[in-house]
Structure 1
Amino acid sequence: MEMRQNRGLCLIFFFFIFLFVVSCVNAEDPYRFFTWNVTYGDIYPLGVKQQGILINGQFPGPKIDSVTNDNLIISVFNSLDEPFLLSWNGLQHRRNSWQDGVYGTNCPIPPGQNFTYVLQVKDQIGSFFYYPSLAFHKAAGGFGGITILSRPGIPVPFPPPAGDYTILAGDWFKKNHTDLKAILDGGNTLPAPDGILINGRGWNGYTFTVNQGSTYRFRISNVGLATSFNFRIQGHKMQLVEVEGSHTLQNTYSSLDVHLGQSYSVLVTADQPAQDYYIVVSSRFTDPVITSTAILHYSNSAGSVSGAPPGGPTTEIDWSLNQARSVRWNLTASGPRPNPQGSYHYGMINTTRTIRVANSAPVINGKQRYAVNSVSFIPADTPLKIADYFKISGVFNLGSIPDNPNGGGGYLQTSVMAADFRAFIEIVFENSENTVQSWHVDGYAFFVVGMDGGQWSSNSRLSYNLRDTVARSTVQVYPMSWTAIYVALDNVGMWNIRSEDWARQYLGQQFYLRVYSPANSWRDEYPIPKNALLCGRAAGRKTRPL
């Protein structure tokens, strides 16, 4: 009798253990699995045969649809004849710079091999994209959209749209990426782009179908190499709702400037007579202006597009600057969590450090280069994050780039700046050149507190927006102007800060910020993945298992 009772108690015990385990499994954030094969293939986006980079045979690549906190398992097979890496523009990789996909953190995937990225879109929503980060591969394709929807039950500050469209637009060259890279390697500058693509196609090559009276969300990303663009839809207004993971005040625009690496979401209502309309993307601050179009097709259309595509704004900087200042955070909207975005009072936190970043275009050893605070970045023989993990000396030196411009001549260096975990810092991007610059910070969303013409000084802080500026990961700096951002360094890792002008990035206009915590805790940073590729001076070493 006693044995039966003990057996019954054991069964009950194991039953509750089973329920506990099942509940833990069910409570885990969902997993989404992707298997991608990266190949070369013939493409004709501007009517000329080119060697494109395809993912599963697609150009652009497959779109990633996800929900806040999803785990993304992306197995990438490199079927090219050269090393390859993918990076994730705007994803923050919380505690996990190991998955950033740039050469400063990851060894490239060798030809004929694969690597599986393990990402979590932790506490993120919004519109982003991925792209190839090595060499000049971005000029051949290999990019695609990323959408992160809010979790069920998290309020979104607008009704569900009837459809959700991704627009990947950017300048394009008829030359193959290998030829463009050879031009840069020879110390020369790139020619002007030959055209603009919208979702991989040229003039009127892509159609978006809408139902009259319905509202649609368009996620617009500039995936180009060198050029800002203006986006507009003939006869329609656009209501801005999100910028790179931040809900915005829902201002209405007739056209929108989108700079290199940036992403915007707008709502468009099909409230015009039933016919087809031009979707227009045209280059900004270029002479001549390059234009491309797609079609907004009403499902009950009574006619095709007619007339000339609508013109965009002039080349004046003030118009674009004022529009940029009008993009504000929606303080009452929830972000990835139910608390309102305005609950984080970034303007009430004292900054502990100011870093001034000045771009320049020096000629070094007879070749055109680009620099940050006079330092033109050169890649090391071992990824910096891996060298840091294995404590391999001689790969990089902390402090190899100064916090402020010194006005000196350009020089080559593997530039890494040290920073403390949980510091709250100010970064000022200073542009003394006559072209628009675009800057991206991997691993972070930052607050764009100010931008203006002229030289930045401490008095410029008087004009900062310390209440409702938008949080984003990529920001423009206008000619002869400055842009200031606030960043909470709450993400340990080795993070790339770079120009989004891809020729400038390739020729040195980038550096790495090493955000360091002495705790060596999984709470602050995940350990090196057991599948990490090891190369350079780390080849043959062992990683500790997860």
Structure 2
Amino acid sequence: MRDCRVLCFFIALVLVFVHGVNGEDPYRFFTWKVTYGDIYPLGVKQQGILINGQFPGPQIDAVTNENLVINVFNYLREPFLISWNGIQQRRNSWQDGMYGTNCPIRQGKNFTYFIQVKDQIGSYFYFPSFGFQKAAGGFGGIRIWSRPKIPVPFPSPAGDFTILAGDWYKTNQYILRRLLDSGRNLPFPDGLLINGRGWNGYTFTVDQGKTYRLRISNVGLTTSINFRIQGHKMKLIEVEGSHTLQNTYTSLDIHLGQTYSVLVTADQPAQDYYIAVSTRFTARVLTTTAILHYSNSHNGVSGPIPVGPTTQIASSLSQARSIRWNLTASGPRPNPQGSYHYGMIKTSRTIMLANSAPYINGKQRYAVNSVSYIPADTPLKLADYFNIQGVFSVGSIPSNPTGGNGGYLQTSVMGANFRDYIEIVFQNWEDTVQSWHIDGHSFFVMGMDGGQWTPASRAVYNLRDTVARCTTQVYPRSWTAIYMALDNVGMWNIRSENWARQYLGQQFYLRVYSPANSWRDEYPIPKNAILCGRARGRHTRPFKK
């Protein structure tokens, strides 16, 4: 262990010298051992993926601009990758942790991630991104705290809880993956978990009269969830790095890959209360519970479990539109979030992305603009860096839907220019809720509504105080439009957060390109980069400073 710390410290010093990372920003060092282990989340023994023996994995705590050095040892019998949901990796898609950017960590080997949480605050999570490993665990929470000198728009809470909730299967990841590979859909989930446990399996202890912060992430595979607490209201304060107007809710819809941060005051009589999570927009509703325990309580939970919303779309759409940016609050820097007038910037390009579920070669696939993504034999970022021909071609996915119900297989990459400001419209003609995530960027959710998007739809955009985030939902037979500044050079994954759809092709990569080939725009390839596929045995070349 001492040798590992010495090595990590030496690598960090090299990183400071090579990458020019601000020496005033502290470093945090982590050593993670990834293993298999027996878990019983729904009362049935399963083989789970543990990090340092934990399921879920260890919490990451950091302060804005700090540097994280995470040395990951893979003791599984298969390759392994970790992705950082919502961490923007400024100038550094080399650390993104998706197969399009990184080679997986081979069994018995290790890899050290270097991540600076540059100009970020808020609540996020990490998860295993390779294959279907997300179905076996390996996920955990990330909290990025504001620097002490930058005020936050709420008093310091008495405590801070991470809640990782989502659907779960008793079937192991390999069988689920074989189902998908054979062209079949996944079955309905077996249950829901809260922090890796089933019904009443987890307790949060609070003191009466005090206020607590809850960071709630949907880390599931296939379903949106609704979150609520018996007898208590929730004040929304942050969504994926943005301070929000502090609206009060009795329940929150949280879609796949999304994270919400709320304040809850223990202002009820001293007893225990249900924390309830249920599936949303599903014909059969799954529910699970945890316990909110008052420290001076002598009574267990009682009464009915709080019921979630009964309307399918209308109330959820209304709630989504009510989530607004707090224009007077500071973000990671000491200036108001609203000082960036996103609605006054002219967009240079409109991209429309339509999801579909075609059968290709007799098997169920999922697609974006009729293209169903297939992984290449070499990570795209490496192929781009080494100019390896035949791995992918920029423009292999159209920027507008092609029409029709068919589809084709392709390693799809869309090109875009550094510093462009673009509009993306997600058009959903299916009967299921979609959840979309964009790596490396935050975007402004301009509007969402039913039916077909047209240029006239811009009349209902929120040009003043819409929230900035990294994951957005698209309701059935509806559209969602976003504005996004392409301020981060690299090869970035755009994907469905429904992991079965992602696995079967509902994803592609956005190549944000700068011709400068400069460290000012993008860090050089790390010296410890794993080289695989057709990049194996290559040597790095220097960037211009």
TM-score by length of 1: 0.95
Give the distance between the partners of 1:243 and 1:177, measured in 2 at CA.
30
Report what 1:453 is aligned to: 450
In the TM superposition, residue 63 of structure 1 has moved relative to its aligned partner by 0.4
2:498 is the alignment partner of 1:501: yes
In the TM superposition, residue 302 of structure 1 has moved relative to its aligned partner by 2.8
Report what 1:18 is aligned to: none
The one of 415, 419, 436 aligned to 2:416: 419
In the TM superposition, residue 27 of structure 1 has moved relative to its aligned partner by 5.5
Q: Would the aligned equivalents of 1:32 and 1:73 in 2 still touch at CA under 8 Å?
A: yes
Task: Specify the code of the residue in structure 1 equivalent to 2:70.
Answer: I
| Alpha-carbon displacement from aligned partner over 1:199-232 (angstroms, at most 9, x marks no partner) | 0000000000000000000000000000000000
Report what 1:372 is aligned to: 368
In the TM superposition, residue 543 of structure 1 has moved relative to its aligned partner by 2.2
| Alpha-carbon displacement from aligned partner over 1:303-362 (angstroms, at most 9, x marks no partner) | 100022110001420100000000000000000000000000000000010000000000
The one of 487, 491, 502 aligned to 2:488: 491
2:304 is the alignment partner of 1:308: yes
| Alpha-carbon displacement from aligned partner over 1:50-85 (angstroms, at most 9, x marks no partner) | 110000000000000010001000000000001000
Give the distance between the partners of 2:183 and 2:488, measured in 1 at CA.
36
The one of 99, 102, 105 aligned to 1:103: 99
Secondary structure in 2 aligned to 1:153? coil
In the TM superposition, residue 152 of structure 1 has moved relative to its aligned partner by 1.1
Give the distance between the partners of 1:431 and 1:315, measured in 2 at CA.
20
> Which 4+ residue blocks in structure 1 deviate beyond 3 angstroms?
24-27
Secondary structure in 2 aligned to 1:337? coil
| Alpha-carbon displacement from aligned partner over 1:220-263 (angstroms, at most 9, x marks no partner) | 00000000000000000000000000000000000000000000
Alignment of 1:253-268 (within 5 A): 253-268=249-264
2:195 is the alignment partner of 1:222: no
Give the distance between the partners of 2:386 and 2:314, measured in 1 at CA.
49
In the TM superposition, residue 128 of structure 1 has moved relative to its aligned partner by 0.1
Report what 2:537 is aligned to: 540
In the TM superposition, residue 544 of structure 1 has moved relative to its aligned partner by 4.3
Alignment of 1:184-263 (within 5 A): 184-263=180-259
Report what 1:384 is aligned to: 380
Q: How many residues align?
A: 524
Give the distance between the partners of 2:229 and 2:322, measured in 1 at CA.
20
Alignment of 1:99-138 (within 5 A): 99-138=95-134
Larger Rg: 1
Task: Specify the code of the residue in structure 2 equivalent to 1:38.
Answer: V
Give the distance between the partners of 1:168 and 1:481, measured in 2 at CA.
28
| Alpha-carbon displacement from aligned partner over 1:344-402 (angstroms, at most 9, x marks no partner) | 00000000100000000000000000000000000001000000000001100011000
Q: Would the aligned equivalents of 1:530 and 1:544 in 2 still touch at CA under 8 Å?
A: no
Q: Would the aligned equivalents of 1:284 and 1:315 in 2 still touch at CA under 8 Å?
A: no
Task: Specify the code of the residue in structure 2 equivalent to 1:189.
Answer: N
Task: Specify the code of the residue in structure 2 equivalent to 1:238.
Answer: M
Report what 1:464 is aligned to: 461
Give the distance between the partners of 1:195 and 1:313, measured in 2 at CA.
19
Report what 2:72 is aligned to: 76
2:430 is the alignment partner of 1:439: no
Report what 1:11 is aligned to: none
Give the distance between the partners of 1:27 and 1:70, measured in 2 at CA.
10
2:42 is the alignment partner of 1:46: yes
In the TM superposition, residue 287 of structure 1 has moved relative to its aligned partner by 1.7
Report what 2:6 is aligned to: none
Give the distance between the partners of 1:416 and 1:224, measured in 2 at CA.
26
Report what 1:158 is aligned to: 154
Q: RMSD across aligned C-alpha pairs, in angstroms?
A: 1.2
Report what 1:13 is aligned to: none
Give the distance between the partners of 1:144 and 1:157, measured in 2 at CA.
26
Give the distance between the partners of 2:265 and 2:124, measured in 1 at CA.
23
Give the distance between the partners of 2:419 and 2:22, measured in 1 at CA.
33
Q: Which runs of 5+ in 1 are unaligned?
A: 1-20
TM-score by length of 2: 0.95
Report what 1:482 is aligned to: 479
| Alpha-carbon displacement from aligned partner over 1:443-475 (angstroms, at most 9, x marks no partner) | 000000000001100000000001000000000
With 535-544 and 148-157 compared, the bigger mean Cα shift is at 535-544
2:519 is the alignment partner of 1:526: no
Secondary structure in 2 aligned to 1:328? coil
Alignment of 1:24-35 (within 5 A): 28-35=24-31
Give the distance between the partners of 1:527 and 1:293, measured in 2 at CA.
47
Q: Would the aligned equivalents of 1:530 and 1:545 in 2 still touch at CA under 8 Å?
A: no
In the TM superposition, residue 26 of structure 1 has moved relative to its aligned partner by 9.8
Report what 1:67 is aligned to: 63
| Change in 2 beyond 3 A, CA 1:26/1:453 | closer
Give the distance between the partners of 2:151 and 2:41, measured in 1 at CA.
40
Alignment of 1:5-20 (within 5 A): none
Q: Would the aligned equivalents of 1:529 and 1:545 in 2 still touch at CA under 8 Å?
A: no
Secondary structure in 1 aligned to 2:319? helix
